[in-house]
Structures are given as structure tokens and as C-alpha cells.
Amino acid sequence: MQYSFNLTLNNEQDTQNLAKILAQHFTTGVVYLIGDLGAGKTTLTRHYLQHLGHQGSVKSPTYTLVEPYQVQGHDIFHFDLYRLNDPYELELMGIRDYLETPNALFLFEWPSKGGDEIPAADLIIDIQKSEDELTRHATLSFQSVALLQALESQLNNA
């Protein structure tokens, strides 16, 4: 069963607040980041990684497919599958080696392009731009009602 929560991100500070709360509760597992170009997937990822403790820059892995990070002894892999022509390309690049990393966090932009080569998500974040191009509407979907309740409580008080 999947549990969902909707919220409005009025500005980048709201996105940063969401990232901070995610970093407090979700440090391992698989996250799907869904949204059109320019929706804010990489911006959310940058703030998420910074709140997990990453000190350097965070760039979109659009051309490299994956950017690995080591944060306080913790492995994080940020995938951008936008340019993928066939899910099998992930097999050729050695995705299994990444996925076998214990206790890692996997962030997938454009997960629909990964087909069966990527694992199911523990958390799905769908970000949509509003008509004003500034506000974002985000839907967070979880496999765990406990995680939903913890995040929902904090997000309502943010």
C-alpha cells in the first residue's frame, strides 16, 4: 500500500525545508524524483545532500548518468536517466555494482526510463510547476505509513 502527502513549495526556501526534513528521516533506500525539466528535482537533491552533510557542489548527472557522493561514510548515488535510450544501458554501465552497495541512498531522476533495471521506490517525490512557474506542487508517496506520519507532522509545522 502506498501513502501520499501533498504540499506546496512557494519558493526555494520551502524546497530547502523539505530537503532538511527528508535528510532527518530518509537516509537510505530508493527515491524517485519525478517532474518535467526545470521542476526542481536537482535543486531538491542539492539541498537534500547538503542537509545530509555534503560540503561540495552538487551537479546534475545528466551527461554522466550518475554522480556518487560519500557523505560522512555514507554512500549516495544520484542518477539522472533523462538521456537514457534503453534501460539496458544501465546494465552496461554497471548499475548492479551501485545497487549492491549496502545502506546506500539512491536518488533517481526520470526513473520511468530505467524500466526493470532499477529497484522499486521507497519514496516517490513528484514535483510539478504551477502556472506562475515559481510555485511547485509536490506529492510525496511512501511505502511506510510511519514515515509518512513523521514527515507530515514536521512539514505541517515547517
Summarize pLDDT for 79-91 with one digit per residue, the tens. Answer: 999 999 999 999 9
**Residues whose CB falls within 8 Å of the CB of residue 128, separated by 6 or more in sequence, listed in order:** 35, 36, 39, 136, 137, 138
Handedness of CA 101, 17, 126, 152 (dihedral sign): positive
pTM greater than 0.85:
yes
- Strand 74-80, strand 29-34: pairing: unpaired
Query: What pLDDT does 143 receive?
Result: 78
For the beta carbon of residue 49, count every other beta carbon within 10 angstroms.
23
Any idea where the domains of the chain sit in the sequence?
3-157
Query: What pLDDT does 156 receive?
Result: 67
How is domain 3-157 classified at the CATH fold level? Answer: Rossmann fold (3.40.50)
DSSP the chain: --EEEEEEE-SHHHHHHHHHHHHHH--SEEEEEE--TTSSHHHHHHHHHHHHT--S-----TTTSEEEEEETTEEEEEEE-TT-S-THHHHHTTHHHHHTSTT-EEEEESGGGGGGGSPPPSEEEEEEE-TTSS-EEEEEEES-HHHHHHHHHHHHH-
**Cell matching residue 84:** 537514457
Summarize pLDDT for 32-85 with one digit per residue, the tens. Answer: 999 998 899 999 999 999 999 999 888 888 778 999 999 988 999 999 999 999
